[in-house]
Amino acid sequence: MGLMDMIKGEFIDIIEWLDDGNTTLAWRFPRYDNEIKNGAQLIVREGQWAMFVYRGQLADQYGPGHYALTSENMPVMSTLQGWKYGFNSPFRSEVYYINTRPVTEIRWGTPQPVTVRDPDFKMVQVRANGTGTVRVKDPAVFLRQVIGTESNVDMEQITDLIRRNVALAFSDMVLASGLGAIDLQGKQVELSGKLREFVATRVESFGLGVDDITMSISLPEEIQQAMTRGVAKGVEASGFINNVDLNRYTQAQAADAMLAAAQNEGGGAAGAAVQAGFGVMLGGQMAGAMAPQGYPQQGYPQQGYPQQQGYPQQQPGYGQAAPPPLPTQQLFHVEIGGQAAGPYPLDQLRQLVSNGQLTPQTNVWSNGMAAWAAASTVPALQPLFNAPPPLPGTPPPPPSAQ
């Protein structure tokens, strides 16, 4: 009898799996043509699950522990093989070990961008990527749906399955959230938990579970540039415009180009003309961009709009609003009643001081300022609050009645 015949003729008395790595999810014990004898030792270590399959049917399952294979602790196998009074002769069965430990650092990404409705930018295509931690949650379902007749299932074999379901779950999560692209990016940590729930629902049909998942949402480059330019221009920081669109980004680019041309050392008279044109254009754009909500974008109210205190009244018979102040004057926005008003030139600011609407503590902002500040801290506005000294020879005011 040859060596192979001797190996095939032996009985199996110890069944165990020594797994050196953490990427193998399932492994079939190499039984060959050998048979498992009565009383054989089954060793299942922590993070493992042993499953017996007899003629294609799932039989007994064992969690971590040390077992002696007898008819008493193999009830399903006894029923399938008709062991009414126990068994004395060896039997044949396939034994699968399932790795139930978590597999970490599974990288995923959306193969195609996901279209999101955004109140600022209308339709935006976003992408996402991250990592996940997956484990076998239901060994029986995993055996039926994934293993099949495979003798070894590695994590790489189901990576595409995981990534595809995560990408689909991301689309479902975005649709269910109802958030715009900017809000999605701002709530990535919070939405990662929601994404884990959506992914878990999709992969549970394969016997898998998701312990953790991270997510990083990326916006198109032109959207990121538009957001950056909006902040750099002080638009969002001023609190007057919450919706920054691509048209305003384009206008900002054109304004920068004209300013660069005006500041060119060799420009001469041409540069001065460009600078003057730039002042007119910028004044019109700023008046429209900074108009309070509910007002037309010419900078002053028109007929049919509520009159805001501080704006000159519309003269009857005129179809258009008054022109904006000359670009040579510095304009200031003023916080009145908790809302932004303006921009106002210094002449109108003096009126606001006289009627008590502008005080040294009132918050103001002008183009070039990093943030809102108290009026008394702005050098250009400090003269408004400095009362002139009394004339020579004027008697002092009488003391106030106590």
CATH 3.30.1490 assigned to domain 328-383? The reply is: yes
Residues 64 and 133 sit within 8 Å (Cβ to Cβ): no
Among 64-73, 76-85, 87-96, 270-279, the minimum mean pLDDT is found in: 270-279
Q: Give the whole-angstrom CA distance, residue 303 versus residue 77.
A: 89
Write down the mean pLDDT value for the chain: 77
Residue 259: pLDDT above 60? no
Residue whose structure tokens are 């609050």? 385
How confident is the model at residue 170, as a pLDDT? 93
- pTM value surpassing 0.85: no
Q: Give the whole-angstrom CA distance, residue 206 versus residue 146.
A: 7
How confident is the model at residue 148, as a pLDDT? 83
Q: How many CB atoms lie within 10 A of CB 307?
A: 12
Higher pLDDT, 251 or 180: 180
User: Taking residues 292-301, what's their average pLDDT?
Assistant: 47
How confident is the model at residue 7, as a pLDDT? 43
Name the band, by pLDDT with cuts 50, 70 and 90, for residue 237. Answer: very low
The DSSP code for 43 is E
Per 3-state DSSP, the chain is made up of helix, strand and coil in percentages (nearest 5) of 35, 25, 40
Helix/strand/coil (H, E, C) string of 233-249? CCHHHHCCCCCCCHHHH
Q: Give the whole-angstrom CA distance, residue 251 versus residue 247.
A: 6
For domain 103-219, the CATH class is alpha beta
Peptide bond into 396 cis (omega under 30): no
Beta strands 11-15 and 332-336: pairing type?
unpaired
- pLDDT tens digits, one per residue of 74-121: 889 888 888 776 777 788 889 999 999 999 889 999 998 998 888 888
How confident is the model at residue 3, as a pLDDT? 42
CA 232 to chain centre: 22
Residue 243: pLDDT above 60? no
Residues 129 and 217 sit within 8 Å (Cβ to Cβ): no
Give the three-class secondary structure for 4: helix
Residue 311: pLDDT above 50? no
Higher pLDDT, 252 or 359: 359
